[in-house]
Amino acid sequence: MDLRGKVALVTGGGTGLGRVISQSFAREGMHVAVNYSRSEAEANETVSMLRGMGVQAIAVRADVSKAAEVRAMVDRVMSEFGRIDVLMNNAGTTVFVPFSDLEGVSEEDWDRIMAVNVKGAWLCAKAVAPIMKRQGQGRIIQTTSISGLRAGGSSLPYTVSKAALTMLTRGLALALAPEITVNAIAPGLIDTRWGRAWGDRDINKAIEEAPLKRLPSLEDCAAAVVLLARSDSMTGQTIVVDGGRYMH
């Protein structure tokens, strides 16, 4: 798909990886709707950056775990741009609790992680699918994690949610073909606020474990997203971007 002049909706698009993905779309000539839930100032800063790159951009607040807010967000994007060509399901949440500490994860933690990471992606996909079908073409791309491919990561509910998101990617790919492709990226440890929470010891260990002896950059991850947005022949796939650690 030629991306120039197309419209992307990026959930969690105002900070971290979401910001870099939004910027990568803008470099391709795409107009971008930046979704945020709490980080309004950072989302507005991202929008200013994107406009400075010569594209149209707006910030749209919505909690992706709530159906009514997702519908309102999609309606706002359609009223501003008249189309949605790429949905980037990037919003996510977690808690940092060792797997062995079953009591350390509250029921509220579990429900919130599942609601944002899995239900949110489903609600957003469901909201944009009819639009993309009418347009005759669309892309849905999800940010999952290598934690969804092997047990590990910040907490047990997080790894379960990312495994579910990986399977949601495959199921949606079957459900929405042939007009819409659905794919995912699975980053390893990356330089975000979450990534830095691991501390220097664990970060250095991850670098040492990686065959490439480096962690992926946010730009590396965003490049994989752009590849999936362009491709007319990939669907149901998860691209691992982790410096080769997953091979171990």
Phi/psi zone of residue 93: left (φ > 0), alpha (ψ -120 to 50 degrees), beta? Answer: beta
Please name every residue paired with 186 in a beta bridge, in sequence order, or none if there are none.
240
The answer to whether 190 and 218 have CB atoms below 8 angstroms apart is: yes
36 among known catalytic residues: no
Residue 86, CB half-sphere, CA atoms under 13 Å: how many?
Answer: 36
Could you say which of 25, 36, 81, 158 is catalytic?
158
Sole residue written with tokens 């664990």: 202
Cross-strand pairs, 140: 87, 182
Angstrom distance (rounded) from CA 241 to CA 74: 29
Contact 129, 180 (CB under 8 A): yes
User: d(Cα 133, Cα 62) in Å, to the nearest integer?
Assistant: 23
Which residue type occupies 39? S
For residue 119, which phi and psi values (nearest 5 degrees)? -60, -40
Dist. CA 96–CA 104, nearest whole Å: 9
Q: Which two tokens stand for residue 90?
A: 């990037």
* DSSP state at residue 66: S
d(CA 199, CA 197): 5
State the catalytic residues.
158
